[in-house]
Structure 1
Amino acid sequence: MELSQGLLLVAAGLAAGTVNAVAGGGSLISFPALIAIGLPPVPANVSNSVAVFPGYASSVLGSRADLPPWGRLWPLLPTTVLGTAAGCALLLLTPARAFELVVPFLVLGATAVLAFQNQLRRLVGHPRDLSPRRRTVYLQTMVGVGTVYGGYFGAALGVMLVAGLALVLDETLARVSAVKNLISAVLGLTTLVGFALFGPLDWAAVLVLAPATIVGGYGGALLVRRLPPAVLKVVIVVFGTTIGLFLLYRAYRYRS
Structure 2
Amino acid sequence: MKHKILITVLFVLSYAAYALQWPVDIEYMTSSFLEERSGTVQSGLVFEGYDSMRPYDYGETIFRYVPEAYGALPGEGDSMLVLEHENGFQSIYSGISPSEARQDRNRLSAGEYLKAPSEDNEFSTCYFYIRDAHLNQLVNPMILLPVPDDSVIPLIKSVILMDGDRSFELMGGMKDRSMPVGNYEVFVKAVDMTNRAVIQMPYSYALYNLGSLLLERELDALVLKDAQRVFKDGKTLDSVFSMPSYLSLGEIILTSGQALLEISVTDIHGNEGSRSFQLQVFR
Normalised to the residue count of structure 2, the TM-score between the two structures is 0.27
Q: Which structure: greater strand fraction? A: 2
Normalised to the residue count of structure 1, the TM-score between the two structures is 0.29
Q: Which structure: greater helix fraction? A: 1
Using CA pairs under 8 Å that are at least 6 residues apart, name the structure with larger relative contact order, 1 or 2. Answer: 1
Of the two, which has the highest radius of gyration?
2
